Amino acid sequence: MNHLLLTKSLLPSISLVGRPNVGKSALFNRLAKRRASIVHEEPGVTRDRMYVSVNWQNKSMQLIDTGGLEPGSTAQLMKGILRQTQTAISESDLIVLMVDAVLGPQPGDYEIAKILRKSKKPIIVAVNKSDSEKLEISSHEFFALGFNVCVPISVLQGKGIDTLLTEIFLQLPEQEVLPSETEEAAEPDFFDAEFDSETELEPAPNLDLDSDTISVAIIGKPNAGKSSFLNKLIGEERHLVSEEPGTTLDAVDSDFEYGGQKYRLIDTAGIRKKRSIFRDLEKMAVSSSLGALDRCSVAIMLVDALEGITEQDLKVAAFADKKAKGIVIVVNKWDLAKGKGLKIDEYTQQIRDQVPFLSFAPILYISALTGSRVFDVLDVVKEIAEQYKKRISTAQVNKVLQSAQDAHQLPVSKGRRVKIFYGTQVSVAPPIFLFTCNDPDGIHFSYRRFLINQIRETFGFTGVPVRLVFRARDKVKK
């Protein structure tokens, strides 16, 4: 697949490996300084491998979190976790084997140690849950695993973390000291000078608008084929695929390049109906998915062609629309749907009827299984991302405004004709237009919709939500 280039980190890579529930994800989150991976007492929560860049004392590394290993397990899901972990090991310059100080050396620890020795990579044993002096002393029992470095740590208390990082960087090649960040990035100026910066407009999302990477969240209900779709794009089994709904729990980032454009794809847990979220674990998975929407410019909403638009698809679409993200609707498993006689024109009209609030979203038909048209999705995502950041000059906005009012005169409200005096775009990502008028309450929703349609007809904004804000003239600076 010569048109696809996976983005490999230039930083040294360190994998966290071990049995379930030894604290790998907790350490990953502590070093990432955010809840990048779900932590839960239930074993097997982390299933895909996750990546994050870590900077410590002006040195950097790429940290990889892996699923908990249970050597000898015949469960299909566990076999998938083992494959993910083996890939992480092969990518790593160093491996941290995490173990549990409270339980002491377990048979599974010895089995994992045997696997790691075959890699010929440097191994450090991190003895987690060494919360007391007694447990710190007993951590020496883990030298029996056959590795030269054992570091007692307590992720919960933050003990021993610096010692562990020191040992890691001692065994990695020397790095150049990174320059200190002395300046904070300037906030983007979304407001034109003549407007009050405290005007209550919808805030822009926390996105790096100057980044050359497009962040994309893949959303949908469980088992719509999100992980299969993502694996097809990046050309490797980065994400577990299983017929069991809910295999993906974390929101997992994958960086790669296609057609000269860099993308960050965020695979998310399937968002279930609220009444189905009866476990804490599923609640955290949904929270992770909604957080993924905060980090993206464009959402790919994957729909199962055989099931059609369901109530839950509508809820997922509403989440994305509420967060004002660019969106493309992707109907997966179309190869199977065609075999059942379904037709694109009829299916598209059905979606438009069921999701009228996403009338601006393109609809594509793919098969993640066969790879049919999956890369067409990226071409559309790129176009939407460009539209998401598009800025229209004030002169152009007012030209459209004048044409709209000439075509359809505003009604009389409270004994006077409603007038819109002036308009300007005050924000991008999403595009927000502020209009000054004499009576904001007198502008009917149908006229707002008409004005949005005029803006789209003139300027495009394909796949992008357009927001309008109306303010009385006396609330704007003269």
Please report, for the domain that includes residue 270, its CATH number.
3.40.50.300
C-alpha–C-alpha distance, residues 258 and 38, integer Å:
29
Contact between residue 361 and residue 194 where contact means Cβ atoms under 8 Å apart = no
Whether 261 maps to a domain, the answer reads yes
Residue 106 region, left (φ>0) first, then alpha (ψ -120 to 50), else beta? beta
C-alpha–C-alpha distance, residues 148 and 135, integer Å:
19
Tell which residue, 135, 141, 100, has the closest CA to residue 18.
100
Pair (117, 83) in one structural domain: yes
Pair (383, 399) in one structural domain: no
Q: Which residues, other chains included, contact 186 with Cβ-Cβ below 8 Å and sequence gap of 6+?
A: none
Pair (322, 411) in one structural domain: no
Express each pLDDT in 37-59 by its tens digit.
Answer: 433 343 343 344 577 778 888 78
Please report, for the domain that includes residue 459, its CATH number.
3.30.300.20
Whether 185 maps to a domain, the answer reads no
C-alpha–C-alpha distance, residues 107 and 85, integer Å:
19
Contact between residue 431 and residue 466 where contact means Cβ atoms under 8 Å apart = yes
Pair (255, 359) in one structural domain: yes
Pair (376, 421) in one structural domain: no
Whether 153 maps to a domain, the answer reads yes
Whether 187 maps to a domain, the answer reads no
Give me the domain span that covers residue 166.
7-170
What tokens does 277 get?
């979220």
Whether 181 maps to a domain, the answer reads no
**Scanning the structure block, which residue is given the tokens 């939500």?**
465
Tell which residue, 346, 338, 268, 335, has the closest CA to residue 302.
268
Whether 152 maps to a domain, the answer reads yes
Contact between residue 84 and residue 76 where contact means Cβ atoms under 8 Å apart = no
For the chain, what is the domain count? 3
Phi, psi at 180, each rounded to 5°: -70, 145
Contact between residue 27 and residue 128 where contact means Cβ atoms under 8 Å apart = yes
C-alpha–C-alpha distance, residues 211 and 239, integer Å:
25
Alpha helices in 33-148 (DSSP H): 76-91, 107-117, 133-138
Pair (401, 373) in one structural domain: no
Q: Which residues, other chains included, contact 294 with Cβ-Cβ below 8 Å and sequence gap of 6+?
A: 205, 206, 323
Tell which residue, 197, 200, 195, has the closest CA to residue 423.
195
Residue 172's pLDDT is what?
Answer: 80
Express each pLDDT in 324-370 by its tens digit.
Answer: 899 999 999 999 998 888 999 999 999 998 888 899 999 999 998 89
* β-strand pairing of 123-128 with 150-152: parallel
Tell which residue, 371, 357, 363, has the closest CA to residue 344.
363
Q: Which residues, other chains included, contact 323 with Cβ-Cβ below 8 Å and sequence gap of 6+?
A: 205, 293, 294
Pair (253, 285) in one structural domain: yes
C-alpha–C-alpha distance, residues 308 and 311, integer Å:
10
- Which contacts of 27-35 are long-range, i.e. CB under 8 A and separated by 24 or more positions? 27/98, 27/126, 27/128, 27/153, 27/155, 27/161, 28/52, 28/63, 28/65, 30/155, 30/158, 30/161, 31/56, 31/63, 31/161, 31/165, 32/63
Pair (449, 382) in one structural domain: no
Last residue of a domain, one of 388, 422, 446: 388
User: What's the predicted TM-score (pTM) here?
Assistant: 0.56
Pair (372, 459) in one structural domain: no
Q: Which residues, other chains included, contact 441 with Cβ-Cβ below 8 Å and sequence gap of 6+?
A: 413
Half-sphere exposure of 127 (CA within 13 A, CB side): 27
Instruction: Please spell the DSSP secondary structure of 282-313, one letter per residue.
Output: HHHHHHHHHHHHHT-SEEEEEEETTT-S-HHH
Pair (74, 148) in one structural domain: yes
Whether 201 maps to a domain, the answer reads no
Last residue of a domain, one of 170, 205, 221: 170
- Looking at residue 468, what DSSP letter applies? E
What tokens does 53 get?
């860049």
Residue 271's pLDDT is what?
Answer: 42
C-alpha–C-alpha distance, residues 344 and 328, integer Å:
16
Pair (383, 404) in one structural domain: no
Whether 2 maps to a domain, the answer reads no
Last residue of a domain, one of 118, 137, 170: 170
Pair (433, 365) in one structural domain: no
What tokens does 370 get?
């066969």
Residue 192's pLDDT is what?
Answer: 28
Express each pLDDT in 225-248 by its tens digit.
Answer: 777 888 888 775 443 333 444 444
Cis peptide upstream of residue 12 (ω within 30 degrees of 0): no
Distances (CA, A) of 246 to 46, 98, 177, 329: 12, 26, 42, 21
C-alpha–C-alpha distance, residues 161 and 395, integer Å:
57
Residue 235 region, left (φ>0) first, then alpha (ψ -120 to 50), else beta? left
Tens-of-pLDDT digits for all 478 residues of the chain? 333 434 444 678 899 998 888 988 889 888 887 554 433 343 343 344 577 778 888 788 888 888 777 766 655 545 556 777 777 788 888 999 999 999 999 998 998 898 888 888 899 999 999 998 888 888 888 988 988 889 999 998 889 998 899 889 888 865 544 433 333 333 322 222 233 333 334 444 445 566 789 999 888 777 777 778 888 887 754 433 334 444 443 445 778 889 999 998 886 654 444 444 344 434 443 444 465 677 789 999 889 999 888 776 777 788 788 888 999 999 999 999 988 889 999 999 999 988 888 999 999 999 988 999 999 999 999 999 999 999 999 999 999 999 999 888 887 877 788 889 989 999 898 999 999 998 888 888 888 889 999 999 999 999 999 999 999 876 544 4
* β-strand pairing of 59-65 with 4-6: unpaired
Tell which residue, 32, 48, 463, has the closest CA to residue 246.
48
